[in-house]
Structure 1
């Protein structure tokens, strides 16, 4: 049975309609891919900018160590805070070698504040064998139980902790609120 001209024409039309739909679909896929790539580039640039802001903060962090009165106050606060976390009676403190004298000068004040708050005496000692690396910005690390428990209260560790909490706020401050975001964590 031979096909009539009308049937052949109908098959040709269906074939080209099918091809047109495929071309439209390919255009939509390509457009979507390009849009996603553009979004990813924007997000990467934003993340790089946030990372640069945090890196700048890290560089400026070292400036506090230049003012010995403020730095001493900060060190005593960091030590006391870590002591409250540990709640031990004998603690070894690691610091940069250049901060050793300043850290030791905080011991009487810190011990008195700790005793007032907890009613316990505390034995504080600077670790003379292990110091924090010289390229560390500053701060302290408390160690108990032969190094099995450590509290890292270096300035870098504190900045990292704060940065994790504040990254959404930093993004909003730099780029404004994202209307497409439901949650801001």
Structure 2
């Protein structure tokens, strides 16, 4: 049976409707798939960037914390250095005050004579030489000679040896020296410095731990005392 033009047109329209429906469904499927892939990719990118951002801020936080520790350490070191400098300045001031008071020692004839006797005799013992030359302040020549005369018999009796002592009348101790003596062996190569300044310096070195404890208290970080 032959199809009429109406039947043909009807079938064509039916086929076109089917094709359009199928195309529409395919488009929707493609859109859905594209949307899904887009959401997946967006989620992946968001997660990746979130991780990068978290890592960045963690790194920055660590850098800030490290910088903070370094800054705190520097401030503590600066404060420690200031404390140490203040302490050293205080000790220097104390020693300078002690040096200024040395001049007062020589102003008491009896006390100074006794002190010179000890300094001279100690110099003899340290040199242990048969011939000794003594250098002193020009104004101390007589009192030093008296100390020598008194010390020689004590020295001879102690070491069972003779000693000849000469006071240098050409070279004296500098005018800035507060007192005391310098003793030399015969050729001048061995020297014992027993000026008041040198004795103060020696005592200061020996007593520095006690001085620091008296001024600043005991160091809690110090494990050994000798």
State the shift of 1:10 in Å: 1.3
1:100 aligns with 2:100: no
Q: Retained in 2: the 8 A contact 1:141–1:150?
A: yes
1:37-59: CA deviation from partner (whole Å, max 9, x where unpaired) = 00110111011111111111111
Q: Retained in 1: the 8 A contact 2:119–2:181?
A: yes
Normalising by structure 2, report the TM-score: 0.78
Distance 1:76 1:136 in 2: 18
**Equivalent in the alignment of 1:138:** 179
Structure whose residues are more often helix by fraction: 2
**Equivalent in the alignment of 1:59:** 100
Q: Retained in 2: the 8 A contact 1:168–1:184?
A: no
Once superposed, what is the RMSD of the aligned Cα atoms? 1.4
Q: How many positions carry a matched residue from both structures? A: 184
How do 1:137-156 residues align onto structure 2 when only pairs under 5 Å count?
Answer: 137-156=178-197
**Equivalent in the alignment of 1:177:** 218
Distance 2:108 2:215 in 1: 30
Residue in structure 2 matching 1:38, options 79, 93, 96? 79
State the shift of 1:175 in Å: 1.1
Return structure 1 stretches of 4+ with deviation > 3 angstroms.
none
Stretches of structure 2 that go unaligned for 5 or more consecutive residues are 1-40
1:9 aligns with 2:44: no
**Equivalent in the alignment of 2:111:** 70
Q: Retained in 2: the 8 A contact 1:143–1:151?
A: yes
State the shift of 1:179 in Å: 1.1
State the shift of 1:133 in Å: 0.6
1:49 aligns with 2:90: yes
Residue in structure 2 matching 1:120, options 153, 161, 170? 161
State the shift of 1:184 in Å: 4.2
State the shift of 1:36 in Å: 1.0
Q: Retained in 2: the 8 A contact 1:61–1:155?
A: yes
RCO higher in structure (CA 8 A, sep ≥6): 1
How do 1:13-24 residues align onto structure 2 when only pairs under 5 Å count?
Answer: 13-24=54-65
Normalising by structure 1, report the TM-score: 0.94
State the shift of 1:64 in Å: 1.0
**Equivalent in the alignment of 2:131:** 90
